Amino acid sequence: MRLAEMEAIALNVGLLIFASFIFFIIYDLAKKSKAGRFGTFILFFALGLGLAAFLVKTVVVEMIGGGGI
């Protein structure tokens, strides 16, 4: 396995772990603030939108071809 392939796999795994941790933080914030069902939905929507934009940007850059060597 080449170094570039290992880096690509590590990046994908790292982003998955990062996204999972962000969703855990949002869930914990909703639980501790006793937000209720609607408040939890709003928290996940509003705070998750920033994470989604980051992930979409990564995908778009890869599709355009700016991420390759």
Give the model confidence (pLDDT) of 35-55 as tens digits: 899 999 999 999 888 888 887
Q: pLDDT tens, 9-42?
A: 898 899 889 889 988 999 999 999 998 999 999 9
Q: What is the 3-state secondary structure (H, E, C) of 43-68?
A: HHHHHHHHHHHHHHHHHHHHHHCCCC
CA distance 20 to 4: 24
At 8 the pLDDT is 85
pLDDT at 68 over 60: no
d(CA 41, CA 59): 25
pLDDT at 66 over 80: no
Determine the pLDDT at residue 11: 86
